[in-house]
């Protein structure tokens, strides 16, 4: 049986108050983890959290079937992987090592996500492979997301798999999901929405301003379910419109379609 983990990219958004979080909610992570079974920690891309914060996150979800995936610092990209690789990987290992020491092994941390910018193209692949060669892929799980269309091919996905790293499966305006990348039965899916006009800066809207329809979610879930050989799938919604409704609402609908048990204590309006 496939194990599904579904949630959002981050949980601390003020515009979710009143649409997902009841106004009286004091601990957003506690409420979030009563609904979803995983989160992709987005804030680590911009700044390093304190050990106190990480410990508090882990205590908050204690006793629940819950996994954290961690977004690697933005130093792990085309602008400086060679100069900053040890700093970047050191932080990632500390975050994940702390989590691994605090939760049962069967609820080990999810993935470290390395998100690469559009400027990272085929010419940067060797430096990336060098960076990943220093990662402890036998102990920690890494996933890499390309944002350059020239890298959306089996050739470059295979290079990641060769070094024990999972290529992210994308759904975005320039890479509609049609299949699932996997490594040893694992898959990591990120859903950015399908706002073509905003993504290509042809409108004033935000690139991630999009809410999936039920028919679109059914198609996506069908593709995931139809992928053979999968044992564990992480699914994260990163489609953030200003209203704050779409990520949690879409994630809850996907959970229902996948048969993931949830404990909803609030409302989605």
In the chain, what are the domain boundaries?
A: 3-258
Provide CATH code, domain 3-258. 3.20.20.410
The phi and psi torsions of 126 (rounded to 5 degrees) equal -65, -40
Q: Contact at 8 Å (CB) between 146 and 120?
A: yes
Of the pLDDT bands very low, low, confident and very high (cuts 50, 70, 90), residue 9 is: very high
State how far the Cα of 74 lies from the Cα of 129, in Å rounded to an integer.
17
* Closest C-alpha among 171, 256, 250 to residue 213: 250
Which is higher by pLDDT, 83 or 30?
30
150 Cβ partners below 8 Å, 6+ apart?
121, 122
Highest mean pLDDT among 13-22, 41-50, 97-106: 13-22
| Over residues 110-128, mean pLDDT | 88
90 Cβ partners below 8 Å, 6+ apart?
none
> Per mean pLDDT, which range of 80-84, 112-116, 210-214, 224-228 is the poorest?
80-84
* Closest C-alpha among 156, 171, 166 to residue 219: 171
Tens digits of per-residue pLDDT, 80-96?
A: 544 445 555 555 555 55
Highest mean pLDDT among 40-49, 179-188, 237-246: 179-188
Q: With 90 as the cut, is the pLDDT of residue 182 above it?
A: yes
Q: Contact at 8 Å (CB) between 214 and 253?
A: yes
> Per mean pLDDT, which range of 82-86, 110-114, 203-207, 227-231 is the poorest?
82-86
Q: Which two tokens stand for residue 89?
A: 């990987």
Q: Which two tokens stand for residue 190?
A: 């990120």
Of the pLDDT bands very low, low, confident and very high (cuts 50, 70, 90), residue 105 is: very low
């Amino acid at each position: 049986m496939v194990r599904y983990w579904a949630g959002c990219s981050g949980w601390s958004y003020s515009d979710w108050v009143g649409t997902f979080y009841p106004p009286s909610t004091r601990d957003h992570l506690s409420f979030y983890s009563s609904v979803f079974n995983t989160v992709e920690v987005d804030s680590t891309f911009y700044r390093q959290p304190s050990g106190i914060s990480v410990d508090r996150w882990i205590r908050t979800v204690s006793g629940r079937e819950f996994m954290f995936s961690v977004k690697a610092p933005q130093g792990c990209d085309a602008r400086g992987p060679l100069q900053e690789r040890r700093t970047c990987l050191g932080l990632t290992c500390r975050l994940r090592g702390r989590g691994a020491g605090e939760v049962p092994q069967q609820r080990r941390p999810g993935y470290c996500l390395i998100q690469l910018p559009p400027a990272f193209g085929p010419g940067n692949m060797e430096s990336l492979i060098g960076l990943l060669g220093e990662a402890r892929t036998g102990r920690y799980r890494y996933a890499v997301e390309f944002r350059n269309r020239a890298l959306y091919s089996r050739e470059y996905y295979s290079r990641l798999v060769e070094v024990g790293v999972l290529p992210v499966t994308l759904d975005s305006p320039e890479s509609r999901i049609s299949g699932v990348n996997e490594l040893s039965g694992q898959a990591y899916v990120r859903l950015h929405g399908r706002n073509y006009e905003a993504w290509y800066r042809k409108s004033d809207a935000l690139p991630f301003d999009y809410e999936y329809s039920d028919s679109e979610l059914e198609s996506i879930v069908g593709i995931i379910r139809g992928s053979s050989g999968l044992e564990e799938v992480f699914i994260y919604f990163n489609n953030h419109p200003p209203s704050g409704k779409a990520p949690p609402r879409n994630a809850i609908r996907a959970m229902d379609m996948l048969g993931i048990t949830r404990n909803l204590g609030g409302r989605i309006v």
